[in-house]
Structure formats: structure tokens, C-alpha cells
């Protein structure tokens, strides 16, 4: 269901994101003025591949998965959005349709900025398309790095980079010294195209190094600074 407007705490969540915080005040205000709050239950579909563009979304609580499921029920996960990430810009930029399914991994609360309102604003303020393009360009850099890692890096390096990337919400937030990631080993395996057994063994190794603690349905990074240093050393 939808709520009519953003609450102050929800506005603060948006403001904590690096992309939103970098926007001109007028664009921030326009996004918030058009925004409606949407809630989803765990497993509920937000949109499907091939759906028409209905606007931008931003995470306030919970997590949204992006991927596809084949007729046999096998799931391919390509990304995970958590607060305060924004998404939906690809269809906005090219006028095409949604590229993947999006569903709630857990109970989720999102901001939805309808396409009509956003397109109207951008038509009147064409210079602000730059900021939408910057969001897409940042994500393209993340994709390029992931493709390179899949070809050139070992499983441990790829997992370390994935954990740091998720903790930073793909560059959208500064994580706490001990962030908790609500992502299962199956989800990590799907993102990295590695088996659950491989992910489990790698996580246990990082746990022995006192970098993280494995939890049911996730991990708690106990030394993010050191994990980030390891990730930064990957070339």
C-alpha cells in the first residue's frame, strides 16, 4: 500500500545516500514532493522484466533483489538493493522496459517517484538529466569491475569485494565499523556464480581471520576497516 508523503525520518534516510546528497536542492525537493511510500512483504514482486518504466525507487528499509527465475525455478541473482540505494534509472534513460525482475528479499519499504512526475520535472530542467546519468554511470563501473573480477580474480577475492560492496550499498553509504549484511550464503553464491559450499568455506576462512561472524541468513563484519584494506589491495 502507499502512504501520501515522506516522514522526516524517511527524508533523513534519503539524505544519507551519497547520490541524493549530491543533488541540487531543487531536484531533491522535486523528488521528495512527488514521492510516495510503498511497502512490500517478503517475496512480493515489485516489477518484472519487460514491464514498462514506472519511475525511480529508493530503499528505506529491507532489501530488494534483482534477477530472473527460469521455468525450472532456478534463480539468478544479479544485484541487491538496500537503504539508501536508488534504482530504476535505466528504463528512465532509454525509454525501454525493465531489464530484470525485482522482488522483496525481506519486508521492504521504498520511495517511488512516478515516471510522469519525474519526466515532467526533467523536461523543465534538462540540465538535471546529468544526475540521472551519473547514477547509471556509477553502476556501470560496478558492473565492469564485477565482470573483470569474474575473469581474473579468485573466489576469495571476489567474495571480499562483494562483501565490501554490499556493506557500502554499492557506494551509496558509509558503513559502520561492524556492519551486518542480511544476505544468505545462497544469495552470495548466486551473485558470484559460486556454489553455496564454496561460499561457506570462504566465509569460515574469513571468520577464522576474525574479519566476520557468520549468522543465520547473513554475516556481521567485525573489522570492516581491515576487510576494506584487503579489498583495496585487489588489483
Residue 141 contacts by C-beta under 8 Å, 6 or more apart in sequence?
A: none
Q: How many domains does the chain have?
A: 2
Q: Choose one of 91, 110, 140: the last residue of a domain.
A: 140
Residue at 132 is within a domain = yes
Tens place of pLDDT per residue across the chain (235 aa): 444 579 999 999 999 999 999 999 999 999 999 999 999 999 999 999 999 999 999 999 999 999 987 777 777 788 899 999 999 999 999 989 998 999 999 899 999 999 999 999 999 999 999 999 999 999 999 889 888 988 899 999 999 999 999 999 998 998 888 999 988 999 899 899 999 999 999 999 999 999 999 999 899 999 999 999 999 988 6
Residue at 147 is within a domain = no
Domain holding 94, by residue range, is 2-140
Residue 59 CA to residue 226 CA, distance in Å, equals 27
Q: Choose one of 94, 110, 140: the last residue of a domain.
A: 140
- Same-domain status, 166 and 135: no
- Same-domain status, 126 and 197: no
Indicate the DSSP class of residue 51.
Answer: P
- Same-domain status, 24 and 117: yes
| pTM of this prediction exceeds 0.85 | yes
**CATH number for 113:** 2.60.120.10
Give pLDDT, residue 4.
Answer: 52
Q: Choose one of 107, 140, 173: the last residue of a domain.
A: 140
Give pLDDT, residue 1.
Answer: 40
Give pLDDT, residue 234.
Answer: 82
Distances (CA, A) of 219 to 67, 164, 179, 180, 192: 22, 12, 9, 6, 16
- Same-domain status, 115 and 197: no
Q: Are 111 and 14 in contact (CB under 8 A)?
A: yes
Burial 202-218 (b: 16+ CB within 10 A, else e): bbeebeeeebbeeeeeb
Residue 125 CA to residue 142 CA, distance in Å, equals 28
Amino acid at each position: 500500500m502507499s502512504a501520501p508523503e515522506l516522514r522526516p525520518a524517511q527524508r533523513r534516510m534519503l539524505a544519507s545516500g551519497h547520490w541524493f546528497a549530491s543533488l541540487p536542492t531543487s531536484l531533491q525537493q522535486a523528488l521528495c514532493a512527488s514521492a510516495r511510500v510503498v511497502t512490500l512483504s517478503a517475496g512480493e514482486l515489485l516489477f518484472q522484466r519487460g514491464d514498462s518504466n514506472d519511475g525511480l525507487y529508493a530503499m528505506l528499509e529491507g532489501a530488494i533483489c534483482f534477477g530472473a527465475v527460469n521455468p525450472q525455478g532456478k534463480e539468478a541473482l544479479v544485484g541487491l538493493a538496500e537503504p539508501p540505494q536508488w534504482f530504476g534509472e535505466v528504463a528512465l534513460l532509454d525509454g525501454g522496459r525493465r531489464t530484470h525482475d525485482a522482488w522483496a528479499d525481506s519486508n521492504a519499504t521504498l520511495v517511488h517517484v512516478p515516471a510522469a512526475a519525474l519526466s515532467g520535472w526533467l523536461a523543465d530542467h534538462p540540465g538535471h538529466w546529468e544526475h540521472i546519468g551519473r547514477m547509471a554511470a556509477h553502476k556501470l563501473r560496478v558492473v565492469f569491475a564485477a565482470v573483470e573480477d569474474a575473469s581474473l580474480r579468485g573466489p576469495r577475492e571476489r567474495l571480499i569485494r562483494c562483501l565490501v560492496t554490499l556493506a557500502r550499498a554499492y557506494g551509496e553509504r558509509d558503513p559502520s565499523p561492524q556492519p551486518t549484511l542480511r544476505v544468505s550464503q545462497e544469495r552470495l553464491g548466486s551473485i558470484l556464480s559460486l556454489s553455496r559450499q564454496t561460499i561457506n568455506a570462504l566465509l569460515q576462512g574469513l571468520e577464522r581471520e576474525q574479519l566476520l561472524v557468520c549468522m543465520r541468513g547473513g554475516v556481521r563484519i567485525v573489522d570492516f576497516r581491515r576487510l576494506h584494506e584487503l579489498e583495496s589491495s585487489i588489483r
